[in-house]
Amino acid sequence: MANSVVVVGTQWGDEGKGKIVDLLTDKADVVARFQGGHNAGHTLVIGDTKTVLHLVPSGILRPEVECLIGNGVVLAPDALIKETQILESSGIDVKSRLFISEACPLILSYHCLLDQAREKAKGDKAIGTTGRGIGPAYEDKVARRSVRAGDLLNSDRLFQKLEAAVDIHNFVLEERFNENPVDLQQLYDQCLGFAEQLSGQITDVTGKLLADQAANKKVMFEGAQGMMLDVDHGTYPFVTSSNTIAACAASGTGVSPLGLGEIVGITKAYTTRVGAGPFPTELFDEVGKRLGQRGHEFGATTGRPRRCGWLDLVALKRSVQVNGVTALCITKLDIIDGLDEIKVCTSYQYKGSQRFAPPYAADDFAACEPVYESLPGWNQATEGLTDYEQLPVETKQYLGFIEEYLDTPIKIISTGPERDQTIVLEHPFD
């Protein structure tokens, strides 16, 4: 029995992790978010209700599940409070079930202003961030000047840390970017308001998790974005500002790596990415448009259209290896229904030679030409199927090809956005 399961994205994010975490929490006691910020969005569809989560772990829709935000998350208090209010207005109990690590770095107004000013200054060389302050907040963390969630509980320390941070960031905003400075007193008063609303939820999340594991509770670790956006292993510099891989479930919550069990890697049946950066299998033809329209490929956080392309097994293979994926979940299988031919990238052509691994630098990655293998499509609809045996023969061949190339079993297949539109071949907690 696996008592801990890590769910990670294996592509450039937007793989459908939220639905899968929500689905699998039918057997979980705890869901812990371990990295990222409110730049990520998880969309859950249950019946006629669509819920988009940005900071609150996806297990919140299960009333018996405890939800934790680990120290690896950069937390925007205003965004969390707003999200909580929206959920509670729908009758979902949040405050008594959601706990925040006292070590979470806070995203404050100066982070957002810096993020937006930098992107504006870069012009056509902009990375394509969400402008929500994620990068500057992680910079403060490694520079050891973060205002953290626990600081909200100590008003004197809070003011001192804000004063030091505002002094530094206002200098950059005014002198480098010619932007208006942040008012220290106004920000301090705002943070006191955050403290009033969040104080009952800020706690020792690491201690909670260690106690949960000691009590043999089933814990789900939820990541954001995907491996190809990892700040070390992704298409640098077109990446997010945190480590998105499974190993960071340990550092982002404080549990031992030995406490991580099954690693479930989520991948679409095709590939998408949002924002700038290399994307070897991107399609600019009618098939690409079809994938975007049928898959409703718009960012849950920003609303930006996602770039769409064929499945890139070269990048996916590296992702499976780095994450130590033990089980694959294929999402949006139904979106490629009706195609006469389906292509998968099995290697790259790079500077006249064949390559079977992604390069480490974005400009090298952009120079890679995909080498495809063609597989037959299928005309039968797979949407909503819940039995593997109901899948067309060609669909099984496609899934089998993926399994063989990646040397990893597919245990879950999503055939639609709703919780019950899923084929579960083997539950990770079993």
Percent of the chain with pLDDT over 90: 85
**309-317: average pLDDT:** 98
Positive/negative CA dihedral, 333, 219, 32, 227: negative
Secondary structure tally for the chain: helices H, strands E: 12, 18
Active-site residue set: 14, 42
Burial of 402 (0-12, 13-18, 19+ CB in 10 A): buried
pLDDT tens digits, one per residue of 374-427: 999 999 999 999 999 999 999 999 999 999 999 999 999 999 999 899 999 999
Residue 78 CB neighbour total at 10 angstroms? 17
Check residue 46 and give its pLDDT. 61
pLDDT tens digits, one per residue of 197-214: 999 999 999 999 999 999
Sorting pLDDT into bands at 50, 70 and 90, what band is 81? Answer: very high
- Whose CA is closest to 141, among 170, 167, 108, 171? 108
Sorting pLDDT into bands at 50, 70 and 90, what band is 273? Answer: very high
> Which residue stretches of 55-133 are H helix?
77-89, 109-122
- Look at 99 and 19; give whichever has higher pLDDT: 99
> Which residue stretches of 345-430 are H helix?
362-366, 393-406
What pTM did the predictor assign? 0.93
Sorting pLDDT into bands at 50, 70 and 90, what band is 357? Answer: very high
pLDDT tens digits, one per residue of 289-304: 999 999 999 876 667 7
Six token digits for residue 55: 């900071």
Cβ contact 344:270 at 8 Å: no
E strand or H helix at 98: strand 98-101
